[in-house]
Amino acid sequence: MLDNTVVSIVDDDRDVRLSLESLLTGQQFSTRCYASAEEFLRSFDPTTPGCLLLDVRMPGMDGMKLQSVIRDRGWKTSVIIMTGHADVRMAVEALSAGASAFIEKPFRRAELIQNIERAIAQNLETCEQHVRWQELEVLFQSLTPRESEIVDLVVSGLMTKQIAAELHIGERTVETHRRNLMRKLHANSVAALVNLRLEHRSLQGSPER
């Protein structure tokens, strides 16, 4: 797997932790183990790419609660819920809360590896999207309120004359604002401007924001 990705394992059962660590290390995954949700929250670096294998039933904070805390903190970590006591309600709750997968113990090796690979891929994609959103957000935040208005009117398909009428300003003023905003956004054409704004809207509206 990618050198900088880590599979974090949170399970109060030491034998399960050691077994998973041995299996995943043998498959070239880097791992870190935690005996409780509390230990994980104290020690985990949320910028670490990878995924989390999370047991449901643990003393203290259980896995479902930890998943909720991770979501509330806005961490991008992909979560795989694992349990030896599954039921439909629990599975629906975990997946509805954003879990990448819900798997039962004892694990089928191939299924476990497949779910981990998928979860890591999802995490990397989420992180890339977040970085891209931050880049675009910096660009669009550099615009004045009037420039932001004009961007959205251009994206809606209005021409310079129509924008001027809509905003009750002169056409030359619109053109000046357009030149300035195109420079700030590093857009060399109207098509590029439209694509940037649509991408920004799309990423802004995603659940990870």
Establish if 17 belongs to a structural domain: yes
Domain that holds residue 196: 142-204
The answer to whether residues 146 and 114 belong to one domain is no
Given 70, 105, 128, the domain boundary residue is: 128
The answer to whether residues 86 and 181 belong to one domain is no
Segments of 98-141 assigned E as strands: 101-104
The answer to whether residues 101 and 32 belong to one domain is yes
d(CA 10, CA 53) in angstroms, rounded, equals 6
Helix axes 109-141, 190-204, angle to 10 degrees: 130
Q: Rounded to 10 degrees, what is the CA torsion of 74, 17, 14, 8?
A: -20
- Name the pairing type of β-strands 50-55 and 30-34: unpaired
The answer to whether residues 10 and 49 belong to one domain is yes
pLDDT at position 94? 81
pLDDT at position 2? 60
Given 101, 128, 155, the domain boundary residue is: 128
CB 79 within 8 A of CB 54: yes
The answer to whether residues 164 and 74 belong to one domain is no
pLDDT at position 98? 82
pLDDT at position 1? 53
Which pair of tokens denotes residue 64?
A: 């479902």
CB 10 within 8 A of CB 55: yes
Establish if 137 belongs to a structural domain: no
The answer to whether residues 102 and 167 belong to one domain is no
d(CA 203, CA 129) in angstroms, rounded, equals 7
Helix or strand (DSSP H, E) at 31: strand 30-34
Establish if 209 belongs to a structural domain: no
The answer to whether residues 57 and 101 belong to one domain is yes
The answer to whether residues 157 and 57 belong to one domain is no
Number of structural domains the chain divides into:
2
Establish if 133 belongs to a structural domain: no
The answer to whether residues 93 and 160 belong to one domain is no
CATH number for the domain that contains residue 45: 3.40.50.2300
Establish if 136 belongs to a structural domain: no
Strands ordered across the beta sheet of 101-104: 30-34, 6-10, 50-55, 78-83, 101-104
pTM: 0.75
CATH number for the domain that contains residue 157: 1.10.10.10
pLDDT tens string for the chain (209 positions)?
Answer: 566 899 999 999 999 999 999 999 999 999 999 999 999 999 999 989 999 999 988 999 999 899 999 989 989 899 999 887 767 677 778 888 788 888 888 888 999 999 999 999 999 998 888 889 999 999 999 999 999 999 999 999 999 999 999 999 999 999 999 999 999 999 999 999 999 999 998 887 654 45
Given 106, 128, 150, the domain boundary residue is: 128
The answer to whether residues 147 and 124 belong to one domain is no
pLDDT at position 205? 63
